[in-house]
Structure 1
Amino acid sequence: MKYLIVGLGNIGPEYAKTRHNVGFMVADYLAKKHNTSFEMDRLAYVADFKHKGRSITVIKPTTYMNLSGKAVKYWANQLKIKTENILVIVDDLAIPYTSLRMRGKGGAAGHNGLKDIEAQMQTAAYPRLRFGIGDNYSKGKQVDFVLGEFTEDEKIDLDGLIEKSADMCLSFASIGLSRTMTQYNK
């Protein structure tokens, strides 16, 4: 069984610690936990490891957020991974901070990375892990909020949330979407 885990984010040090890059943060944690590292390859940084007999490839697209679908489509085709075995980790304004939700499908909800994946894959029926970042920003300041770093108060919970997200990714690959949602979604 092969799985593709996609951490969404933007490349470059100016984005590294921003809310929009939480997908990259989870991907980095997964690679570190499994003693592997990312190598630059076509359209993405790529890391591979085995977990409970499953082959897992983790990618961090280098296409920038708005063109993430290009990398997802390429790697899914390259590795011959079925859509239901792809998990996309994404930041979500509509979910309160500290909340994590896994879904088997859904809309893009205004998220340009998800919109592009949907367009490239020609379906919205792919699993995603939505990492709640909340919506604590003033009118007209959404971009600044999303591309801003987590506050000191938020950083208190951040490492634990990243670790739990990684656990959810591994659960997805080992016991499946339905059981993982039952176990983790609140």
Structure 2
Amino acid sequence: MHLIVGLGNPGSEYALNRHNVGFMVVDELIHRLEPAKINKASFKGELFRHKNIFLLKPLTYMNRSGESVAAVKNFYKIALDDIIVIHDDLDLGLGALRFKKGGSSGGHNGLKSLDSSIGQDYLRIRFGIGRPSSKEEVIKYVLSNFTPKELECIRPSLQKAADAALALTKEDLDSVRSRYSQKPLKCD
């Protein structure tokens, strides 16, 4: 049993935000797999199941994502090693993909929430969104929409991140890292 979690904020006003790439990747998986939806309010999220894979979009807003993930993890008794979290990463250029297990939250509030709710040793797909020119602009930047040109440019990265998430349900981290890691895209 595996749980693939996309981090993001619920609501149409956030749908195309840089902070919502996790939701975008899970949406790609939902489109591909056509999983069954599980309606259970205590999960505090949109949960889907395809065979032995659960797909989750927490609806608790980013800063409380851990509540939703912990509810699903505990109900289905999913091991921490079998949780894959897809999130935006300011430290990677646009469209870059990196993979790791555990580690610090790097200031990401969604990861901080997960770390305090379930621990740190889950698998992570880090999706690069680039960084604004000044630290004061970070919040505004992550909550801003991708431009139409950027969305078109990152579409292959969204698909590749979805491929990687599925691969992590069957393969070890090193194998997935060697096949799916990618440098930032040139979207000019």
Question: Which of these residues, 177, 182, 185, is aligned with residue 181 of structure 2?
Answer: 185
| 1:139 Cα deviation from its structure 2 partner | 4.4
Alignment RMSD? 1.4
Q: Name the % identity.
A: 39
Task: Give CA deviations for 1:131-170 in whole Å, capped at 9, x if unaligned.
Answer: 0000034442111110001123312322111100000001
The one-character-per-residue Cα deviations of 1:19-72 (angstroms, maximum 9, x if unpaired) are 11111111111011012364543211011113xxxx100000011100011111
The residue aligned with 2:27 is 28
Is 1:67 aligned to 2:64, yes or no?
A: yes
Contact 1:102 1:128 (8 Å CA) reproduced? yes
- Please list, as runs of the form range in 1=range in 2, the aligned pairs for 1:101-112 lying within 5 A after superposition: 101-112=98-109
For the 8 Å contact 1:29–1:166, the answer to whether it is kept is yes
Code of the aligned partner of 2:35? T
- Runs (5+) with no aligned partner, structure 2: 183-188
Runs of at least 5 residues in structure 1 that lack an aligned partner in the other structure: none
**Deviation sequence 1:101-135 (CA, Å, 0-9, x none):** 110111100000000100111x2211110000000
| Equivalences, count | 180
Amino acid at match of 1:132: G
Q: Which amino acid aligns with 2:84?
A: L
Measure the CA separation in 1 of the matches of 2:94 and 2:132: 9
- Within 5 A, what are the aligned runs for 1:160-175? 160-175=156-171
Tell me which amino acid in the other structure corresponds to 1:153.
K
- TM-score, scaled to structure 2: 0.90
Deviation at 1:177, TM superposition (A): 2.0
1:179 CA displacement: 1.4
CA distance in 1, matches of 2:50, 2:36: 10
The Cα of 1:86 is off from its aligned counterpart by: 0.1
2-structure distance, mates of 1:15, 1:56 = 26
Aligned counterpart, 1:100: 97
Alignment partner of 1:77: what SS?
helix
Alpha-carbon separation, structure 2, partners of 1:145 and 1:137: 10
Question: For residue 16 of structure 2, what is the aligned residue in structure 1?
Answer: 17
Please tell me whether the aligned partners of residues 48 and 56 of structure 1 are also in contact (alpha carbons under 8 angstroms): yes
